[in-house]
Amino acid sequence: MTDGDTTLAQQATSIVDRNNVKVRGSTGQAVLFAHGFGCDQEMWRFVAPAFEVDHQIVLYDLTGFGKSDVSAYDFNTYSDLSVHADDIIALCNELNLENVVLVGHSVSATIAVLAANAAPEKFDRLVLLSPSPCFLKIGDYDGGFEEDAIEGLIEAMEANYLGWSEQTAPMIAGQPPDGQAAQDLTKSFCQTDPTIAKHFGRQTFLADNRDDMTRLTIPCLIVQCENDPIAPVSVGNWMHDNMPTSTLERVPVTGHCPHMTNPNLTIDAIRRYLDASTG
């Protein structure tokens, strides 16, 4: 074994353990699920099993979240969303995954695009669930928020993360606080290391990855919720208009987390896209 092979073997062991990688399902085409801000792979529990019969399902926790090795979240290293994209590529390399369907929710939809742009040979298609390349209103682009509103959101998160989580999670879920998805999201937010959440939150809410979207060459499905307080319809329209390889499907869901609040609609949208692409 060469030194390069040794390094790869060590890296393979570390990333599978570090990011709590789980592989299950058939030996078919791999579908890799990437969760959103403050969440973990458990948020896919209502969707991922529907694809196990004919796909290999790969679940993981972003570095710093869920049951990943929190100590691996170096604040200097993870100063940009592209590093999380590098993790996806490394995961694919180490599990020998090719022709992957990459499903990303919210900020991980952006991370998915960054990964596909960096290593297009690894991916077959992307599914971008409730995506937003930029949350700000800039010129003719309507990302949903004025800059002072985003700064206020971040300041509230940094001042009192637990209080912010309890107030914001139900809004993001599109449910009252006693709704199941709202409770799941609140619990997940509150279990996240506050320092990491604040650091990653700044990257998430202040990012502008519109140019990265326009460079995507991999076919993608944009799943847009009709009443999303985080990523309004204008964002989905902009993405579809500026991403030549995109398909847009609007689903009648309130909130930002259709995989949690209406998993059957989400499964159907993904399945239609996969079936149409292979038909």
pLDDT over threshold 50, residue 267:
yes
Give the per-residue pLDDT at 27: 85
* CB hemisphere CA count around 264 (13 angstroms): 0
Residue type, 71: S
Residues marked as catalytic: 106, 228, 256
**Would you say 104 and 59 are in contact if contact means Cβ atoms under 8 Å apart?**
no
**26 — pLDDT class (breaks 50, 70, 90):** confident
Give the per-residue pLDDT at 276: 87
Tell me: the pLDDT tens digits for 117-133?
999 999 999 999 999 99
In the chain, domain spans:
3-134+209-278
pLDDT over threshold 50, residue 4:
no
Give the per-residue pLDDT at 7: 36
pLDDT over threshold 80, residue 194:
yes
Give the per-residue pLDDT at 195: 96
Q: Checking phi first, is residue 225 left (phi over 0); if not, alpha (psi -120 to 50) or beta? A: beta
Mutual orientation of helices 81-94 and 107-118 as an angle, nearest 10°?
60
pLDDT over threshold 90, residue 13:
no
pLDDT over threshold 80, residue 188:
yes
**Would you say 88 and 120 are in contact if contact means Cβ atoms under 8 Å apart?**
no
Is 3-134+209-278 in CATH node 3.40.50.1820? yes
Residues with Cβ within 8 Å of 237's Cβ and at least 6 positions away in sequence, in order, are: 248
The pTM of this model reads 0.93
Cα(224)–Cα(233) distance, rounded to whole angstroms?
7
